[in-house]
Amino acid sequence: MLLAEQSAGAVAQGTAWETEITHPHVLVCEDESEILDEISEYFHEDGIAISTAADGYAAAMAFKGAPPGTFSVVVTDLRMPQLDGASLAKGILAGSDAAHAVEVIVMSGHGAEEMRIRQHELGLFAVLQKPLNLADLAATVLRAHDSAMTRRAAARAG
């Protein structure tokens, strides 16, 4: 629904680029349904478009199946069934070019310190410790979105 609203906004504003800047679209991957529901509700109330996945494999398929540039930010849990957050991040970042830049935020209740050490190696925007403060998560997502949009603009400028 929010993606459809984004598309309608692009027509009203003139370009998809203008809509992309003002309306982040975030892919959130979390295997704990209660946490996923809380994040979804908070982001919806904050005006952040969100798509969700219950495991890393589903998130990888959602990302791969979306048109390039659909998601500006991916937020993923670290430990999940089928495909962990580090592997998901690595695959997404390796498969994204600068014109469709995406930032990845990893959240974890366990192993966050190890991920902070590997943050630069993996190219992560941030590593957040659970339990999450949703306002802090939203603020981090908006900073990540700004970063992705800056990288996309630089790529378009040549």
* pLDDT, tens digit (0-9, with 9 covering 90-100), for 88-138: 999 999 999 999 999 999 998 887 677 788 899 999 999 999 999 999 999
2 in any annotated domain: no
Tell me the C-alpha to C-alpha distance, in Å, between residue 122 and each of 3, 11, 29, 73, 87: 29, 36, 17, 15, 9
67 in any annotated domain: yes
Residue with tokens 């892919």: 27
15 in any annotated domain: no
31 in any annotated domain: yes
Are the C-beta atoms of 63 and 92 separated by less than 8 Å? Answer: yes
The encoded tokens of residue 60 equal 């990888």
Q: Rounded CA gap, 35 and 51, in Å?
A: 14
The model carries a pTM of: 0.85
Dihedral sign for Cα atoms in the order 59, 51, 113, 110: negative
CATH of the domain at 36: 3.40.50.2300
18 in any annotated domain: no
Residue with tokens 């957050």: 85
36 in any annotated domain: yes
Residue 129 sits in which domain range? Answer: 23-157
12 in any annotated domain: no
* pLDDT, tens digit (0-9, with 9 covering 90-100), for 15-61: 344 444 557 899 999 999 999 999 999 999 988 999 999 999 999 99
Q: Structurally, how many domains does the chain consist of?
A: 1
Task: Quickly list H helices, the chain.
Answer: 2-13, 16-22, 33-45, 56-65, 85-94, 112-122, 134-157
16 in any annotated domain: no
